[in-house]
Amino acid sequence: MFDIRVQGGGLVLLSGRLDAAQADRAKAILDTVSESATLDLTDLDYVSSAGLGVLVQTFKRLRDSGLEFRLTNMKPRIRSVFIYAGLDKVLRLE
C-alpha cells in the first residue's frame, strides 16, 4: 500500500511502498507541488528505481524553477537506497 499527502507549506508525506505500480500516481500528485518541497519519508517502507525516478524528476522540475527539494526522516534502509544510487550527492537528504 502507498499513500501520498500534500500538506500546506510544501510538506509532502509519503508512506508505504513507492514502487513501479505507484510511480505514475506519485508523479501526478508531486506534479501539483509548485513551491519548495520537503518530503517526509518517516513512514516510507520501500522505494524502487521507478520511485527514485519520480523523486529525481520532481527535484529537477523544482530546481529548474529555483525552488528547493529535500527529503527528511528516512529510515536507514531507505537512506541506503539513495546512497547506493549515488543520489546523496544530488538530492538534499536530511
Domain ranges of the chain: 2-93
SS3 13: strand
- Please give the Cα distance from 54 to 26 (Å, whole number): 7
- Please give the Cα distance from 30 to 92 (Å, whole number): 17
Give me the mean pLDDT over the 10-21 stretch. 98
Percent of the chain with pLDDT over 90: 99
pLDDT of residue 80: 98
> Each residue of 24-68: pLDDT tens digit?
999 999 999 999 999 999 999 999 999 999 999 999 999 999 999
- pTM surpassing 0.75? yes
Residue whose C-alpha cell is 520501500: 46
- CATH node for 2-93: 3.30.750.24
